[in-house]
Amino acid sequence: MTHLDEPTLLAELATREYLARHGVPLVPATLVLSADELDAAVDAHGPEVVLKAAAPWLLHKTDLDLVRVGVTASTAAVAFDALVRTATSHGPIDGVIVSPHLQGAEILIGVRRDPTLGPFIVVGSGGTLVEIFDDLAIAHAPIDADRAQALIRTLRGAQLLIGLRGTPALDIAALARLVSAVSHIADEDEHLRELDLNPVIVGEQGVAVVDARAMLAEPPPAAVNRRQRDLQPLFHPAGIAILGASTDPAKLGARIVRYLVEHGFDGRIVPVHRTAAQIHGQAAVPSVTQAGRIDLACIVVPPESVGEALAECGRVGIRNAIVHTAGFAEAEAVAATGAAAQTRLADTALRAGINVCGPNSLGIISPSSRIFTSFAGALESSNILPGRIGFVSQSGALASSLLSRSVDDGVGFSRWISSGNEADLDLSDFVGYLAEDDATSVIALFIEQIRDGDAFRDSVGRALEAGKPVLAYKSGRSAVGRRVTQSHTGALAGDDRLYEAFLTDIGVVRVASLRDLLDTARVMVTTPLPRGRRLAVITMSGGASSVIADTAADLGLDLPSPDARTADLLVDLLPATATVDNPLDVTAAAMVEPGILTSVVRSLLDASFADMVLVQLTTNADPVASRMATELVGLHRSAGKPLIVSRLGSPSLAPGAMEIYRSSSVPVLTWPDDATRVAWALAVAGEVMAGISRPNVEVST
């Protein structure tokens, strides 16, 4: 293939040649250059044909009224003349394409290649109303025919293929084979940027591509082989040097020193300052060359000095650094120069053999090791809790806010990582480290952008193999991701949909909100994963029951009715006014006598019809709330399936109960819809870890 300096949009005829070389079934077609050639083409493809103008500049022919359908021998001449007049009023054409007018369902098959994430296959309801219906399913390519058929059956328009109200079933198997074949073309041909097959006609026997448009481009440069990384010194340094330490307590370099001291780091702390003898009680040195044995450098010098600071660290054998300094690629005011400076920083790190977190990083925290290499304002709290959640964020300010909220919510972290601009180390490196980290059980991510799709997939795979679920909140759902592209496929399969498909494909559980991210993670580290999507719900409120039922239906969670044995037990336990159902409203009687709730929860935990149990409390007060908390904590510890506890009432009414939950590490959620989404995330994580096929479900708030 010739070198493609710019993306090249192939005209329809060129696209047909491209597809024919790959064995894609095409509707027969003839290019007619004049009215004299028309009769033979109509005879060859009739009795009814379709006429379409052909020109390299034509993107969407229907929009310009450049398609004629249902044309017969008697109407062909008039239709041809009108079509040519209309087309040439817009620009020169190559001629008119004549093809059979086929009957069947219209489907869209497309390809979209993301420069980072790779190729995706898109299938949806096609034809002229594709944008209106917005009925798409997307998967990372390639996929086999079985996966393709499962993807097709998720479409709303799948009913037209299966057969609706007496209409014959169409050839879904042939369509699935075509989808799979196109997905393999996308995977094998790195030049294919976009492909739009619309419509693809699906008949009772077979499929055929009617219209097609492809865009080719040079593939992105091959990923540089990633270096072998030893990141242990980032998380377990024995000696830390702070380059840019300050005697001004308000400055970042002073805060990092202070936080290390106040939070109990027991290794060497070496502030680097030209003139100061000590900073916050720690002996300072004028140069890192005089710091002695150092495992980790925290760099807070001005942007123009970062490169030399890194080079100096490399010369004295420091192999890990956190660059806290901002003013690089993230800064809009210096976008061009900042990006160039960040590239130089990455080159310096590579030459010096230094692993760099940042720039523009808030740092790294390992609470159990008393390592707080950060200037995050949350560290003003003295109660940063250790835990089993490994958290990585590409947003520093947001990560700091979540850290401060975690103190109030009782959330503990094994590692808290602000990855910054990721000039060197990125999400993939940190997920890979957490996959092998004995202190981490669950990995939670705030993602703005994945920079290396293959490396990220590999790291997530290692985490899952180690038995560690990976949760993510991915920002950027809005229309900003829907960039102007050359095809229906490109426009419809916006960036967020590609991320959704990619994350689902590799086993990351994508949650809908930041609250869901931390709520799910803290529940997940305290409970086993469920074996299915069947949720049993206990409430004291009909309104809460409705909220949970509606949310569960939206997410695809099952709320099965209790089996006969469990129903009989519940009838004996509950007041006569209660109705045995799911959700189960135990009425206000449980607020008076907590033993009722305890017995009901125990029965549902023992029941085989449910994979997990959600208890949604309303407003209760101490001392009854404390008795209830003690009972639920005991059940939580012994449960063989997830027991999710949610309490809607104000914590100020039950401080004793809240302390019982907190001291026992039993997470207490708040809102019923939030708790239901956590149950969904647990169920999906359970499917991932069990290797069950996962549908492409998008969670909405």
Cα-based angle 87, 91, 93 (whole degrees, multiple of 5): 65
Of 313-322, 364-373, 619-628, give the lowest mean pLDDT range.
619-628
| Contact indicator for 213, 486 with CB cutoff of 8 Å | yes
Q: What confidence tier does 692 reach under pLDDT thresholds 50, 70, 90?
A: low
Question: Using alpha carbons only, how large is the chain's radius of gyration in Å?
Answer: 31
Q: Provide mean pLDDT across the span 30-38.
A: 93
pLDDT for position 655: 95
Of 123-127, 219-223, 319-323, 375-379, give the lowest mean pLDDT range.
219-223
- Three-state SS at 122: strand
Of 164-173, 500-509, 579-588, give the lowest mean pLDDT range.
164-173
Q: Provide mean pLDDT across the span 140-151.
A: 96
Which tokens is 382 given? 């003295």
Q: Hey, which residues does 51 pair with through a beta bridge?
A: 68, 98
Out of 100, 122, 142, a domain closes at 100
Answer yes or no: do 96 and 119 share one domain: no
Print burial letters for 531-542: b (CB count within 10 Å at least 16), e (below 16). ebbbbbbbbbbe
Q: Is the pLDDT of residue 166 over 90?
A: no
pLDDT for position 701: 29
Answer yes or no: do 137 and 91 share one domain: no
Q: Is the pLDDT of residue 433 over 60?
A: yes
Which tokens is 560 given? 């099965």
Answer yes or no: do 202 and 173 share one domain: yes
| 265 CA to centre of own chain | 35
pLDDT for position 603: 95
Please tell me the distance from the alpha carbon of residue 17 to that of residue 395, in angstroms, as a whole number.
Answer: 47
CATH number, domain with residue 36? 3.30.1490.20
Nearest to 641, CA basis, from 600, 585, 695, 679: 679
575 is in which domain, residue-wise?
529-690
| Contact indicator for 396, 330 with CB cutoff of 8 Å | no
Please indicate, yes or no, if residue 124 is contained in any of the structural domains: yes
Question: Tokens 């957490």 map to which residue?
Answer: 434
| Contact indicator for 586, 545 with CB cutoff of 8 Å | no
Answer yes or no: do 65 and 117 share one domain: no
Please indicate, yes or no, if residue 302 is contained in any of the structural domains: no
Q: Is the pLDDT of residue 492 over 80?
A: no
- Three-state SS at 84: helix
Instruction: Please list, in sequence order, all residues whose beta carbon lies within 8 angstroms of the beta carbon of residue 500, skipping any fewer than 6 positions away.
Output: 138, 474, 510, 696, 698
Answer yes or no: do 680 and 597 share one domain: yes
- The more confidently predicted of residues 222 and 236 is 236
Q: Is the pLDDT of residue 478 over 70?
A: no
Q: Which helix (H) or strand (E) element contains residue 373?
A: strand 371-374
Please indicate, yes or no, if residue 265 is contained in any of the structural domains: no
pLDDT for position 694: 46
Please tell me the distance from the alpha carbon of residue 161 to that of residue 178, in angstroms, as a whole number.
Answer: 15
Q: Provide mean pLDDT across the span 448-464.
A: 95
Answer yes or no: do 87 and 123 share one domain: no
Out of 171, 190, 216, a domain closes at 216
Please tell me the distance from the alpha carbon of residue 89 to that of residue 204, in angstroms, as a whole number.
Answer: 39
Amino acid identity, residue 283? A
CATH number, domain with residue 657? 3.40.50.261
Q: Is the pLDDT of residue 78 over 50?
A: yes
Answer yes or no: do 47 and 134 share one domain: no
Please indicate, yes or no, if residue 490 is contained in any of the structural domains: no
| Contact indicator for 548, 541 with CB cutoff of 8 Å | no
Q: Provide mean pLDDT across the span 514-538.
A: 96
- Three-state SS at 572: helix
Please indicate, yes or no, if residue 247 is contained in any of the structural domains: no
Nearest to 242, CA basis, from 284, 195, 193, 198: 284
Q: Is the pLDDT of residue 403 over 60?
A: yes
pLDDT for position 485: 44
Please tell me the distance from the alpha carbon of residue 98 to that of residue 41, in angstroms, as a whole number.
Answer: 6
Q: What confidence tier does 696 reach under pLDDT thresholds 50, 70, 90?
A: very low
| 175 CA to centre of own chain | 28
pLDDT for position 89: 94
Q: Provide mean pLDDT across the span 462-471.
A: 97
Q: Please give the DSSP secondary-structure letter assigned to residue 63.
A: G
Instruction: Please list, in sequence order, all residues whose beta carbon lies within 8 angstroms of the beta carbon of residue 680, skipping any fewer than 6 positions away.
Output: 533, 552, 555, 556, 557, 699
Please tell me the distance from the alpha carbon of residue 455 to that of residue 169, in angstroms, as a whole number.
Answer: 42
Q: Please give the DSSP secondary-structure letter assigned to residue 539.
A: E
Please tell me the distance from the alpha carbon of residue 356 to that of residue 345, in angstroms, as a whole number.
Answer: 9
Q: Is the pLDDT of residue 101 over 50?
A: yes
pLDDT in tens, 554-563: 999 999 999 9
Domains contained in the chain, number = 3
Which tokens is 326 given? 């901002």
Answer yes or no: do 39 and 128 share one domain: no
Q: Provide mean pLDDT across the span 350-378.
A: 95
Please indicate, yes or no, if residue 434 is contained in any of the structural domains: no
| Residue 280, phi-psi category: left (phi > 0), alpha (psi -120 to 50), beta (remainder) | left
Please tell me the distance from the alpha carbon of residue 558 to that of residue 535, in angstroms, as a whole number.
Answer: 6
Nearest to 27, CA basis, from 178, 168, 180, 148: 178
- The more confidently predicted of residues 39 and 486 is 39
Q: Hey, which residues does 472 pair with through a beta bridge?
A: 445, 510
- Three-state SS at 94: coil
pLDDT for position 487: 55
Please indicate, yes or no, if residue 110 is contained in any of the structural domains: yes
Question: Tokens 């005011």 map to which residue?
Answer: 333
Strand-strand pairing, 192-202 and 282-283: unpaired
Mean pLDDT of the chain: 91
Answer yes or no: do 61 and 124 share one domain: no
Q: Is the pLDDT of residue 691 over 80?
A: yes
Q: Is the pLDDT of residue 698 over 50?
A: no
Answer yes or no: do 540 and 684 share one domain: yes
- Residues of the chain with pLDDT > 90, as a percent, come to 76
Out of 78, 100, 122, a domain closes at 100
Answer yes or no: do 41 and 123 share one domain: no
Which tokens is 472 given? 């993510």
Answer yes or no: do 211 and 170 share one domain: yes
Strand-strand pairing, 95-100 and 207-209: unpaired
Whole-angstrom CA distances from 156 to 121, 123, 134, 136, 484 are: 18, 12, 10, 9, 26
Q: Is the pLDDT of residue 439 over 90?
A: yes
Please indicate, yes or no, if residue 72 is contained in any of the structural domains: yes
pTM equals 0.91
CATH number, domain with residue 159? 3.30.470.20
